[in-house]
Amino acid sequence: MFAMKQLFSFIVLLLTTCGALQCKDLGTRKFLESEGQARQNQIFLNDESHSQSAMGEEERTSGEAAAVHRLQKLSCIEGKVVFIVNPISGLGKQKKIKQLVRKNLDQKLFEYEILYTKRPHHATELSREAVKRGATIVVAVGGDGSVNEVAQGMIGSQAALAIVPTGSGNGFALSFNIPKDPAKAIQVINEMSDQWVDTVKINDKSYLGVAGVGFDADVSRTFSNSGKRGPASYLLAVLSELPNYKPQNYDLVVDGIPLHKKAFLICFANSNQYGNNAFIAPSAKVDDGFLDVIIWKEFPPHAAPKLVHDLFTKHLDDSKYTETFRCQEVILKKPHQTLHIDGEPCDFEGDVYIRVLPSSLKVITPRG
């Protein structure tokens, strides 16, 4: 049985430093109703793209010829880039995105447009439409929740997802070593290096990074319902859930094998971390065709410091208080409680079916 008073400091430390579950893209559920924000949803096209196509090969400088050579190396690129911005995500780094794109995107290679989300799931609508209109790179500017929404409109297409991380945790971007600095993240697009990665289907939804059930999902729901942002609000959500929370019993079917587990939380990981280098699934890889299921068992208070250390040093799967299964499909039998998908709370009725979709999304990544 948990000694909740003794465990308190550990839970606060864990959940306020795990960026994927801290301040997660609450903006994806907020409506931008002001006329000023609505005016932001306009297209910004660079002025140089028209003259580029008219240039003869003989007029190209050696630098431009090298740029064309790089352009031809990336299978998906035809020079059309769409930035989809969550204007109220995370830490506010996206507020100067227009200037950052103009300064850091190679306009000799790309024409671009910038769109702003205005309502829940709008990012998915915009990305799907961008792919239909021939965009070859769609850039998610936001946190993991925004990245998830943008990707859902692209899975199975030839368009490539790029990420400018402006959330609090940015777990999926960090798994590729995409810079946190928006300017440097935009410059990654110029390198034109891509990689096919797996995505995960969860009933009729999809995700890229981490989903889960248990204490972290309950806190995610409370935080989302509060309508407030920032670490202080998240801490209040932790304090609200912690006193009465108890590990739950779960029935799962992992690649056809039934399991019954009592757990503090269960994580279904495609990528290896929540965010901010909190590695909930140290061995998970986004391109191996498998899902890592992490069972975080009930644990005594004296084990907390070691667990925190293991979480941030990629040794959590060595702990006797965690259990890991690598599989391609999981069924969570009638959980009757909230799950989180890339940090966003989500409720399901009945069984939850989770399966890997191998090599189903192309992602722009740093070279090397």
In order, the DSSP letters of 50-80 are HHHHH--GGG--HHHHHHHHHHHHSTT-SSE
Q: State pTM to two decimals.
A: 0.77
Helix axes 231-241, 4-17, angle to 10 degrees: 150
Q: For residues 333 and 336, what is the distance between their CA atoms, to the nearest angstrom?
A: 9
Tokens of 80: 């059309």
**180 within 8 A of 346, measured Cβ to Cβ:** no
Q: 101 with 94: CB under 8 angstroms?
A: no
Cβ–Cβ under 8 Å, residues 128 and 71: no
Question: For each of the chain's 368 residues, which pLDDT tens digit applies?
Answer: 444 444 444 554 454 444 444 444 444 433 333 333 433 443 333 433 333 433 444 444 444 444 444 444 444 444 899 999 988 766 556 678 999 999 999 999 999 999 999 998 999 999 999 999 999 999 999 988 899 999 999 999 999 999 999 887 788 998 899 999 999 999 999 999 999 999 999 999 999 999 999 988 988 888 778 777 656 676 786 777 777 888 999 999 999 999 999 999 999 999 998 877 889 999 999 999 999 999 999 988 899 889 889 999 999 999 999 999 999 999 999 988 899 998 889 999 899 999 999 999 999 999 87
Residue 152 pLDDT: 95
The domain limits of the chain are 28-197, 207-359
pLDDT of residue 94: 67
Place of tokens 């850039």: 139
Is 28-197 a CATH 3.40.50.10330 domain? yes
Please tell me the number of Cα atoms within 13 Å of 72 on its side-chain side: 6
* CA separation for the pair 229, 231 (Å, rounded): 7
Strand, helix or coil for residue 261: strand
Report CA torsion sign: 54, 57, 60, 64.
positive
Query: Which neighbouring-strand residues pair with 346?
Result: 339
Fold of 207-359: Tumour Suppressor Smad4 (2.60.200)
Predicted local confidence at residue 230, as pLDDT: 58
